Structure 1
Amino acid sequence: MEPSDHTEGGGLVLLIDNTFETRRASRHLLEQRGFEVIQASNGMAGLELVQRLPQSFRFVLVDLELPGLPSAAVLETLRLFRPELPVLCMGEAHAAAAAGCLTKPLREEELVAHLSAAVGSSSRWLHPAGPRSEDAVARARARFAVIGDLVEAALELARGMPEDS
């Protein structure tokens, strides 16, 4: 398959999936196309990375079935915080087909087609978007601030704990 300007050599990608094997295989496929990949094993970790590196990611690849924080909440928060950031969803065949998302395991042809559509147009989302308001954006940013504070507090506690002998 011929490379395209939008689907190769493209910068930093955030991959959010709770399954190690899926992350490994997806990372490999993305790296073969010239992308650098940062991985998160759950939605909260992915949102934290977007908060800490807000302008770094070219696009985000999110599993439809995440433990803890549901993928719908992750997608909504990403859309509120970074509305221009392309997001691709992926899932098992039945769920992915119903939602118009990539199927797992990722196939190069399918990934290239979705990337061309999403990354080629910086404001396009491959997931249905609802209405946004300034209040909703403010709430999402406040949630990110709280998440950052909680992570910082946890790190402080961890630094103060004695190491096990």
Structure 2
Amino acid sequence: MTLRIYGNRALKTLSGKDTRPTQSMVREALFNMWQGAIAQCRWLDLCAGSGAMGAEALCRGAAFVVGIEQSSRAGSVIEQNWQQVAAEGQSFQLIRGDVIKKLPTLAGQQFNLIYFDPPYASELYQPVLDAIADHNVLSANGELAVEHHPKRSNFPTPAALEICRQKTYGNTALTFYQLKS
């Protein structure tokens, strides 16, 4: 199965229901909101799935993309997709493993934009939000977008973060966080 991103580029995806690529309508809305912040940014893609969000960030000028993905099958697809779209001067890194265990390895490496899209029914939301805050992964002027089902937005916000906006697109919602000033 293929997926199209910015510039009509085709990406590979896994067959079956192992990953749930972010809908094109949601991707487009997010990248429109963040369009002024993507060029030369440091992007973190958590529960990267097909790597479509990181690939789109690379296509739109991100300087460095890091992804964390547990599935080794998905990891192979992500690396192929990012290799295909990365331009000279851009770099990327895929970290394979459990997002909760791997996030601490990024402590102090700050990212301007973070996209977190776990399986909707998972229990990852709270521990990952806590880890992002505890390990100082979000830059001072950065923003974190969390994808979730619209009926599931009741995860507590860590003390270091605050919600700056929420958007709903059909069966997908995005909650945006920034560091408290």
- Could you state the TM-score of these two structures normalised by the residue count of structure 2? 0.38
Give the structure with the higher percent helix.
Answer: 1
The structure showing larger relative contact order (alpha-carbon pairs under 8 Å, at least 6 residues apart) is 1
| Bigger Rg over Cα | 1
TM-score normalized by the length of structure 1? 0.41
